[in-house]
Amino acid sequence: MTGDAFPRLGAWVKLPAPESVELLALAGFDFVVIDAEHGVIDTRTMSTMIGLARGCGVAPFVRVAGIAPRDVQVPLDAGAAGLFVPQIDDVAGARDAVGATRFPPLGRRGASNSGRAGRWGLDALGDYLRAGNDEVRLVVQAESVGALDAIVEIGEVAGIDAVFIGPTDLAVSGRFREGDDRLADLVVAAERRCADHHVTLGTTASGNASELLDRRGYDFLVLGADTAMLRQGAHALVSDVRTPRKAVGR
């Protein structure tokens, strides 16, 4: 992996509309994560989004549903800057993710420089292979108590570039209630271990981005989803009109 810093501020893309990527780029995001795990985005639309993001100067990541060849090969050949792989609970799972997404000798990804990742055949095969192993970023999601316990070991697996703490699945898998201090303590302990071992770390943010970046050691954040931004913005507009205002005295 190159020594370039991880792009800092990102957003999920869940709507199957390439315009979402363009709007997020205009808003100033550094990267987008096209959601093929929870979104309803087909491969044709995904490829268009990746190309548009690259043209807008935004790093296009894809959150895949799994590590089957069809899950990872399509976005990587389409030119994704990297993948988010969900539910990696241990070192064995991290190694499986590397095996699926890296070229030999690190992994077993199939090779073809005829797609966008190889500039439609312009790149020599050796350059295409090098970029796939050295420049494409692999982010694994820690979404269980076991994953938090092993987060440093997961992050240090050769071929892994970053670990992303997924708070929603973490809470659900551990059956934690909202606001449970035990979950907060587990996350803080994982943050400290990552900082001590220089593991690149990311998570989602909800109004606490400055704290996460400046005081808790996160390297990158996903600030929300295009769907939520549309819903919240629309709600604010409608509420502003419908909320009764006090008459201004003369």
| 122 lies in some domain | yes
Tell me how many domains the chain contains: 1
What is the domain extent for residue 236?
9-242
| 77 lies in some domain | yes
Q: Which residues contact 165 (CB under 8 A, 6 or more apart)?
A: 141, 142, 143, 148, 151, 187, 190, 201, 202, 203
| 130 lies in some domain | yes
Per-residue confidence in pLDDT tens, the chain, 250 aa: 444 689 999 999 999 999 999 999 999 999 999 999 999 999 999 999 999 999 999 999 999 999 999 999 999 999 999 999 999 999 999 999 999 999 999 999 999 999 999 999 999 999 999 999 999 999 999 999 999 999 999 999 999 999 999 998 899 998 888 778 888 999 999 999 999 999 999 999 988 999 999 999 999 999 999 999 999 999 999 999 998 776 666 5
What is the number of other CB atoms lying within 10 angstroms of the CB of residue 87? 16
pLDDT for 103 = 97
Per the annotation, the verdict on 197 as an active-site residue is no
Interstrand relation of 137-142 and 59-63 (parallel, antiparallel or unpaired): unpaired
| 203 lies in some domain | yes
How far is residue 42's CA from residue 16's CA, in Å, rounded to a whole number?
8
Q: Which residues contact 133 (CB under 8 A, 6 or more apart)?
A: 102, 103, 106, 159
| 216 lies in some domain | yes
| 81 lies in some domain | yes
Which member of 38, 197, 198, 235 is catalytic?
A: 38
pTM above 0.85, yes or no: yes
| 2 lies in some domain | no
Nearest Cα to 203, choosing from 50, 6, 5? 6
CATH number at residue 200: 3.20.20.60
| 248 lies in some domain | no
